[in-house]
Structures are given as C-alpha cells and as structure tokens.
C-alpha cells in the first residue's frame, strides 16, 4: 500500500481527523464524524475525550457505533451519565471544546438541516431530525462539519434550520446571544473550507490531491470563494490509511456487513 492509493472518502475522513488535538473534549456525531474522531483517537490524539449524546464520556470504541445507543460506547467509556446531566453540565456548562457534526443540507454560512427536504408540512423526505445537534451547535466551543459534496447537500438555502451555524453571516451569532465560535471548519471529500473572518461565509482554503476548482464549483449549490493562498491537502500517509482501514474492517466484521454503521465515510 502506498499513500497514493486512497479514495475521496478516506481523504475526507483523514483530513477531518487531523483537525482534532490530544486535549480536545469532542461531542461526536454518528457516521462520518464518528469515523474521523476515532481515527484521531487511534493515531495522533490518543488522549482525546470523545463524548456521545447517550451520555458516554471518554469512550474508546474498537468499532464504529451503529447509533448513540450502541453498547460498544458504554462498554468502553470512562463513565456514563444521564442525558440531562450530559447536556446541562457538560455541554451547556461549556466543557466541550469541539462538536463534530454531519449534515443532510448545508449552506455557505454553516447552517445545517437534518429535519426535512422540501416543505416541512409536505416534505419530499423526512430526515432523522436534530437530536442533540442544535444544542451542540450552540454550546460547543467550536463546530467542525464533514460531508460529501453535491448540489443536493450544499445548497444556497436550506429547507429547514435544524442547527444554527452563522445564520445570515457576520456577527449574527453574537447578535442573538451566542458566545461560542460556531462552525470553524468544513471538510468535504473534495476540499477543506474555513469561514471568512468577517462575513463567516465558508471559503475553500485547500483542495484535496487531484481536485480542481471546477469540480468543487460543479458540486456546490452556491458561488464558491477560493482563498488567495489556496493550498493542497497533504495526502493520507500509509499509517493513517492503515488505522482507518483497520477500523473499517473491524466495524464491518462486528456489524455483519451493515451499510449503516458509518464506516463508509
């Protein structure tokens, strides 16, 4: 295996994992965020504290969980607390540095929809809903987001505000009393995006290897801004790929080939 042999999904997961540090206390979403957070834990950030919505603190799963209620999370946690304690003491108490979320729809200001596609009363698709994501988006120190790019997922206007990002941009969070930073990073299968310091609109700061500006624009529903000092994302190393692929293999074996275990992201 060489570092050149990787998929766009693997690039996305590994690039997202690199953003996490050993000292982070991270509130983890299921799916792609869970994969990225656990790759970080199994590689460069072994002391990271992972928290899942079900109340598991300091969990260290050997396979990716099917849901927040997966027994693997509780079995490997330092402790498990009640959901009210998790949200009131840990999350709203300002003890979580990073919230790592996915999205069904995302706009250029990092606002997230995971509720419905189409009209709320007569939706085309009814999605799982927000769960704890709205509170995570408002109470964590900062928010990282990861998702695959497409014009269906990256839209000019989301159909429903599930989790508040930067609202209309600028100082919208501050104007409505939010004191946390909100979305500070978006990692897709094509690029790394960060919010403009003033407008808070996501700007592409790094293209993944082999990706062009045209491809990024073709898979995004708004007019994309690119940083003047646009970089190329470092390719995954052989060590990073080994960690991710071992995790996927264990997950696949444990869940009997389930396609809903988040291991594909």
**CB burial string 223-256: b at 16+ within 10 A, e below:** ebeeeeeeeebebbeeebbebbeebbeebbebbe
Distances 165 to 14, 122, 174, 259 between C-alpha atoms, Å: 23, 25, 12, 29
Please say if 53 is a catalytic residue.
Answer: yes
Q: Please give the Cα distance from 243 to 256 (Å, whole number).
A: 20
Which of the residues 10, 53, 72, 135 is marked catalytic? Answer: 53
Quote the tokens at residue 22. Answer: 């050993």
Q: What angle do CA 45, 183, 261 make, to 5 degrees?
A: 60
Give the Cα separation of 28 and 51 in Å (integer). 6
Q: Looking at the annotation, which residues are catalytic?
A: 53
């Amino acid at each position: 295996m060489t570092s050149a042999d990787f998929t766009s999904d693997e690039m996305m997961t590994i690039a997202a994992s690199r953003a996490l540090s050993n000292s982070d206390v991270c509130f983890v979403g299921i799916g792609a965020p869970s994969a990225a957070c656990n790759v970080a834990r199994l590689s460069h950030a072994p002391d990271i504290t992972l928290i899942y919505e079900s109340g598991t603190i300091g969990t260290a799963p050997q396979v990716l969980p099917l849901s927040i209620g997966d027994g693997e999370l509780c079995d490997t946690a330092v402790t498990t607390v009640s959901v009210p304690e998790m949200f009131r003491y840990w999350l709203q108490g300002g003890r979580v540095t990073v919230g790592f979320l996915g999205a069904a729809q995302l706009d250029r200001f990092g606002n997230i929809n995971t509720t419905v596609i189409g009209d709320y009363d007569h939706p085309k698709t009814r999605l799982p809903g927000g769960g704890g994501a709205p509170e995570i988006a408002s109470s964590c120190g900062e928010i990282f987001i990861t998702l695959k790019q497409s014009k269906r997922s990256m839209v000019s206007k989301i159909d429903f505000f599930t989790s508040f990002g930067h609202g209309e941009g600028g100082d919208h969070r501050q104007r409505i009393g939010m004191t946390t930073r909100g979305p500070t990073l978006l990692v897709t299968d094509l690029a790394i995006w960060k919010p403009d310091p003033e407008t808070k609109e996501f700007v592409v700061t790094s293209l993944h290897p082999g990706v062009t500006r045209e491809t990024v624009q073709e898979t995004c529903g708004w007019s994309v801004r690119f940083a003047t000092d646009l970089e190329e994302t470092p390719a995954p190393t052989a060590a990073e790929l080994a960690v991710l692929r071992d995790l996927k293999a264990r997950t696949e074996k444990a869940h009997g080939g389930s396609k809903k275990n988040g291991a594909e992201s």
